Amino acid sequence: MDKEHIEKTKKLLKESGFLDKEVATYLALLELGRGTVAEISRKAGINRSTGYVILDSLTSKGLARVSGKEPKQEYVAESPEKLREYMNVQAEKQKGLAQEVSSLLPELISLHKTGNRPSIRFYEGLAGLEHVYNDTLNSTEDIYSTSTYEEMHDALPKYFSTYYARRVKKGIFVRTFVADTPLARFRKANDATEHRETFLVPRGTFPLPTDIEIYGNKVMFASWREKLGVIIESKEIATTLRSVFKLALEEAKRLDAAQK
């Protein structure tokens, strides 16, 4: 192998996670074909004790094997094909790890705090929408909200068939205003058993296509048409929107009474 290809090989091995001494030892072993620890270490330019460690590492990677026993024990270089096999296995492992990281990304982002900036998490699909609603069940105080009952129940009928009972069991009360629809009127009729105070507003005048839930230091948005859930965790934002909702509820209460 000429000098150019040796340098390319060294670069490839280093980029694949091999340490400098591992690279030197592997290339020395390939050139020798086989040898004792002392012979290989001398060829690689490392001390004998380090040679034992590195040769064991190369053996665990399937790039070398042991022949014989001490004091005549030797290490034998496996075919370079084994290096390709090792690289393929590592690539598959990295691919699997990348997929796992992708699935955990929303939670990792939520852990990433930059100063006092709020954390924002995005959840896609119906599973994501279930997740954001499950998070509201962690509330330790009243929830202020607005909801789109028809779209909620059309998208996740089984989920919402138990959600209200689960919330009641946790003792979480909801104060909400919603567009006046048949399903909204049905839910309002069940306010007492579902621990909720509902006010109906004219649907044509006040369209409310996105669910909003304010609880603790969090604000949750659920867009059913876009199949997207968002949770913002910020005391300042939650406090501000909670005050806005309290004002809106006063007007919703007036509008609700006017419709009767």
Q: How many CA atoms within 13 Å lie on the side-chain side of 251?
A: 7
- The pLDDT, as a whole number, for residue 51 is 92
CATH code (residue 26) = 1.10.10.10
pLDDT of 13-52, one tens digit each? 998 889 999 999 999 999 999 999 999 999 999 999 999 9
Which region among 82-96, 113-127, 172-186 has the lowest average model confidence (pLDDT)?
A: 113-127
Which of 31, 62, 83 terminates a domain? The answer is 83
Which region among 70-84, 105-119, 224-238 has the lowest average model confidence (pLDDT)?
A: 105-119
Which of 83, 102, 137 terminates a domain? The answer is 83
Name the band, by pLDDT with cuts 50, 70 and 90, for residue 54.
Answer: very high
Q: Is residue 230, in this structure, part of any structural domain at all?
A: yes
Could you tell me if 57 and 123 lie in one domain?
no
Q: Is residue 105, in this structure, part of any structural domain at all?
A: no
Q: Is residue 144, in this structure, part of any structural domain at all?
A: yes
Name the band, by pLDDT with cuts 50, 70 and 90, for residue 259.
Answer: confident
CATH code (residue 244) = 3.30.870.10
Report for 58-72, 83-97, 143-157: range of highest mean pLDDT? 143-157
- The whole-number average pLDDT for the span 48-63 is 92
pLDDT of 119-177, one tens digit each? 888 999 999 999 999 999 999 999 999 999 999 999 999 999 999 999 999 999 999 99
Could you tell me if 29 and 79 lie in one domain?
yes
Q: Residue 241 sits in which domain range?
A: 117-259
Q: Percent of the chain, pLDDT > 90?
A: 74
pLDDT of 103-123, one tens digit each? 777 677 666 665 667 788 899
List C-alpha distances in Å: 250 to 189, 216, 244.
20, 21, 10
Could you tell me if 192 and 249 lie in one domain?
yes
